[in-house]
Homo-oligomer: A and B are copies of this chain.
Amino acid sequence: MGEVLSIDPRTGEPRGRVATESTAADVGEAVRAAAAAGAALRDRAARVDLLRMAAVLLEKSGDEIIATADAESALGRVRLTGELARTCYQLRAFGDVVEAGGYLDVIIDHADPLADPAPRPDLRRYKVPLGVVAVFAASNFPLAFSVPGGDTASALAAGCPVVVKAHPDHPATSALCARILRSAAAEVGLPEDVVRLVHGFDAGPELVRHPLTSAVGFTGSVRGGRALFDIASSRPRPIPFHGELGSLNPVVVTTRAAETRAEEIGAGLAASYTQGLGQFCVKPGLVLLPEGPAGDAVIRAVVAAAVPSGPLLDPRMRAAFLAGVRSRAALPGVTEPLGAGEAGDDATPLAVRPGVLTVAASRLAEGGPYRELLEECFGPVTVLVRYGSTAERDAVLGGLPGNLTATVHLAADERDGAAVDLVAGLSEIAGRVVVDGWPTGVAVAHAMQHGGPYPASTSGSTSVGSTAIERWLRPVCYQNTPDPLLPPELREANPLGVPRIVDGIRTTS
């Protein structure tokens, strides 16, 4: 069995052995143990306690968690302190969602012997958990999209036990957080096995294939995600695969916006595409800028912004970034106003330098090798596409794959309604439309949508925000069922006080 090592990306040196890679038997044992623990999770109040206790215990071990995550990811203590706060907020927010009960989607239609077009029986519908959820931790968020992250929090909130496949970039952080989540379960009287952890590349397909696995949450690359999606879809019993695979996150800067706000837009873009060293799924990877002096001024502002070098998460990611930048820069007509590439920092062998490329929209329209520019290049680089007309600009937008986000920068006089078609067009290609802002920064909120047309996601759902809980539930309807035999959520007297739609009328508790 392979050893699972924790590596310091600042030095490239191993920090120590965390575990051995999970065998098929290990994965099977983990899934069965999680499934067995699932019954206890039916207790809604215990789940609320679990989510809140998890936040408390993670905060209590905050120093150790942040130190461990920083040592494995080099993302820095400031960023990781924020990420831990987000993670704990998210756990508590899902506790609130469970407590409020709206996610149960309770709908009651009383019997009506005179109903049109036929007599209607008493029908009562709500949602129940799917079963064991396999969670694939993301490389780029060792906390918020990993072991204690949104997939785990929303699955536990739904009542589903979780088996997390740790990301090899932060196995020690994963093991530490899994230990804390399991302690939280024990602390509130739930079995620890509501959270299990597995390690190693082969554990992934095993986990998706296991007959007791009922759904998958994934954040990662198109290649890896699609391979697992294909496994999930081709099982004897196919299971839902909620994957977030890749996104260009296009940004449109209108001519009038460039004319009036070039400095501000250039500086904002520089900060956004280099945030987290470009290792964000919502990094703006393609920016449509007008040809001419106004667009040139935006580029000057991007180039002028201070963009520090830093180490990427791992050598494989760094190699892919460097190769991706080189092959894009080698395309005829592509220029490099700020060259991305090796940082030349001997002390930090994984370091890279952020940069930007430019290309004419007319080149992009040629397709062929230029199609590479329409694929995500993970890391601190963005492609500035110069358009000569709104027709050229809209042709580029129309040729894009699906995205998590689409952003537009407008001038003040375009905000009254002139840009309504442009904004509506962006909603066709993305799950979130951002106006006069940047896609980086994904608020944990009721209204958030983090997902979008394929390959942004493999399902029509979100992995961030309250509605992420929907992914792990299925509806069940009870027909003509005597009150004492109904789950409490559906009993006539509403003993749990959950919001419901009764005979078409929405009622609150």
Give the interface segment out of A28-36, A228-236, A390-398. Answer: A228-236
Q: In the assembly, what is the distance between CA of A233 and CA of B234, in Å?
A: 8
Inter-chain contact A427/B233, CB cutoff 8 Å: no
Name the distance in Å between A500's Cβ and chain B's nearest Cβ: 10
The answer to the question of A275 belonging to the interface, with a C-beta cut-off of 8 Å to chain B, is no
- Interface residues as binary, A439-462 with B (CB distance below 8 Å gives 1, 0 otherwise): 001011111110101110011111
Inter-chain contact B504/A446, CB cutoff 8 Å: yes
Q: In the assembly, what is the distance between CA of A459 and CA of B467, in Å?
A: 18
Name the distance in Å between A96's Cβ and chain B's nearest Cβ: 9
Which chain B residues lie closer than 8 Å to A85 at the CB level?
Answer: 117-118
Residue among A237, A424, A474, A475 facing the most chain B CB atoms (10 A cut-off): A475
Which chain B residues lie closer than 8 Å to A115 at the CB level?
Answer: 443
Other-chain contact of A447, B125, B441, B459 (Cβ < 8 Å) = B125
The answer to the question of A16 belonging to the interface, with a C-beta cut-off of 8 Å to chain B, is no
The answer to the question of A473 belonging to the interface, with a C-beta cut-off of 8 Å to chain B, is yes
Residue among A416, A419, A479 facing the most chain B CB atoms (10 A cut-off): A479
Interface residues in A, total, Cβ within 8 A? 83
Name the distance in Å between A285's Cβ and chain B's nearest Cβ: 18
Inter-chain contact B230/A234, CB cutoff 8 Å: yes
Inter-chain contact B441/A123, CB cutoff 8 Å: no
Which chain B residues lie closer than 8 Å to A487 at the CB level?
Answer: 424, 427
Inter-chain contact A474/B431, CB cutoff 8 Å: yes
Other-chain contact of A476, B88, B130, B432 (Cβ < 8 Å) = B432
Name the distance in Å between A58's Cβ and chain B's nearest Cβ: 13
Q: In the assembly, what is the distance between CA of A65 and CA of B130, in Å?
A: 41
Other-chain contact of A130, B233, B460, B485 (Cβ < 8 Å) = B460
The answer to the question of A417 belonging to the interface, with a C-beta cut-off of 8 Å to chain B, is yes
Other-chain contact of A462, B89, B130, B475 (Cβ < 8 Å) = B475
- Interface residues as binary, A169-196 with B (CB distance below 8 Å gives 1, 0 otherwise): 0000000000000000000000000000
Name the distance in Å between A491's Cβ and chain B's nearest Cβ: 11
- Tally of this chain's copies: 2
The answer to the question of A478 belonging to the interface, with a C-beta cut-off of 8 Å to chain B, is yes
Residue among A121, A445, A454 facing the most chain B CB atoms (10 A cut-off): A445
The answer to the question of A167 belonging to the interface, with a C-beta cut-off of 8 Å to chain B, is no
Other-chain contact of A420, B431, B459, B485 (Cβ < 8 Å) = B485
The answer to the question of A423 belonging to the interface, with a C-beta cut-off of 8 Å to chain B, is yes
Name the distance in Å between A364's Cβ and chain B's nearest Cβ: 20
The answer to the question of A13 belonging to the interface, with a C-beta cut-off of 8 Å to chain B, is no
The answer to the question of A477 belonging to the interface, with a C-beta cut-off of 8 Å to chain B, is yes
Other-chain contact of A478, B120, B435, B506 (Cβ < 8 Å) = B435
Other-chain contact of A435, B130, B475, B482 (Cβ < 8 Å) = B482
* 16 other A-B residue contacts (CB within 8 Å) besides A415-B482, A431-B476: A85-B117, A102-B506, A107-B447, A109-B445, A121-B443, A123-B445, A233-B234, A238-B458, A417-B484, A417-B485, A430-B476, A431-B477, A432-B479, A433-B477, A433-B478, A437-B480
A contact set with B: CB distance below 8 Å: 82, 85-86, 88-89, 102, 105, 107-109, 115-118, 120-121, 123-125, 128, 130, 229-230, 233-234, 237-238, 240, 402, 415-417, 419-420, 423-424, 427, 430-437, 441, 443-449, 451, 453-455, 458-462, 466-467, 473-482, 484-487, 499, 501, 504, 506, 508
Sample 24 A-B pairs with CB under 8 A, ordered by A number: A85-B118, A89-B116, A107-B467, A118-B441, A120-B443, A123-B447, A124-B447, A233-B238, A238-B454, A415-B484, A420-B485, A423-B486, A427-B476, A427-B487, A431-B475, A433-B476, A433-B478, A437-B479, A446-B504, A447-B477, A448-B477, A460-B474, A461-B475, A506-B508
